[in-house]
Amino acid sequence: MRGRVFDLQRCCVNDGPGLRTTVFLAGCPLRCAWCHNPEAFAGDTARWVEAEEVLDEVLADRDFFEATGGGLTVSGGEPLLQPAFVKEVLTRARAEGLHTCVQTSGAVPRDALLAIVGLADLVQFDLKHPDALTHERLTGRRNDDVLANAAFVAAHAKQVEFRVPVVPGFTDDGLEGTAAFVRGLGAHALHLLPYQRTYLDKYRRLGLGARCATVEPAAPSRLASLASRVEAAGVHAVLVC
């Protein structure tokens, strides 16, 4: 079984617990203004790779996973555009006893989530913005299916982390709404992913323009005040950096 992969990075942190190897799958239904992985749908870095090949490289770091409680993370793009491939990769990883994590934008058919929800030890679920129209302006699509899928994952995943990219001027006004939403799903925490300018470098390399080229990353004080607003909305704010 082959999948379209545009990168594989060993030794990642913040893609789930411990040290992880993260596989980046090509393709994405969204077009976020600040997208940090434009290679997912632009450029020619993606290639067809066998699931077995992915596992071979992932398993090379088994000792480091064991030392840190880490494992394999499937990311993108949107990995669940290739549900069968993800399913196979996860199945093989579980057979090897690896901890598994899937990162998703949630903008995917329910079937895709159904296929993997039992195979992932952790689902990292991105919520860009709670407001449907703003969501469309920022990502090109409304968020009805995202919100419904979030509820589904909250109910069925072994463990879920809801995450929000904090892009000043784009997403920061939706943080409280998102916090309230995940609290309604029974989640205790919201993970905040501060936007970093280093992503712009990728656009330059790919010859793309970036809609967020002028955005300045949030200052630590600003992040702290955003975090306290999330806390005020009743969930714990976890800063990921």
Q: How far apart are CA 43 and CA 78, in angstroms?
A: 16
- Give the CA distances from residue 201 to residues 17, 117, 206, in Å, rounded to whole numbers and listed in that order: 27, 34, 9
15 binds other proteins (CB under 8 A): yes
64 binds, among ligand SF4, other proteins, none (CB under 5 to 8 A by kind): other proteins
174 binds ligand SF4 (CB under 6 A): no
Q: How far apart are CA 108 and CA 143, in angstroms?
A: 11
192 binds ligand SF4 (CB under 6 A): no
Q: How far apart are CA 89 and CA 91, in angstroms?
A: 6
14 binds other proteins (CB under 8 A): yes
79 binds ligand SF4 (CB under 6 A): no
201 binds, among ligand SF4, other proteins, none (CB under 5 to 8 A by kind): none
91 binds other proteins (CB under 8 A): no
Binding mask 146-165 for other proteins (x = CB under 8 A): --------------------
Q: How far apart are CA 116 and CA 79, in angstroms?
A: 11
With CA atoms as reference, report the closest residue to 153 among 110, 183, 99, 193. Answer: 110
Q: How far apart are CA 116 and CA 108, in angstroms?
A: 12
196 binds other proteins (CB under 8 A): yes
16 binds ligand SF4 (CB under 6 A): no
105 binds ligand SF4 (CB under 6 A): yes
Q: How far apart are CA 82 and CA 86, in angstroms?
A: 6
73 binds, among ligand SF4, other proteins, none (CB under 5 to 8 A by kind): none
Other beta carbons within 10 angstroms of residue 182's beta carbon come to: 29
**Interface with other proteins (CB under 8 A):** 9-15, 18-19, 22, 60-61, 63-64, 66-68, 70, 196, 198, 241
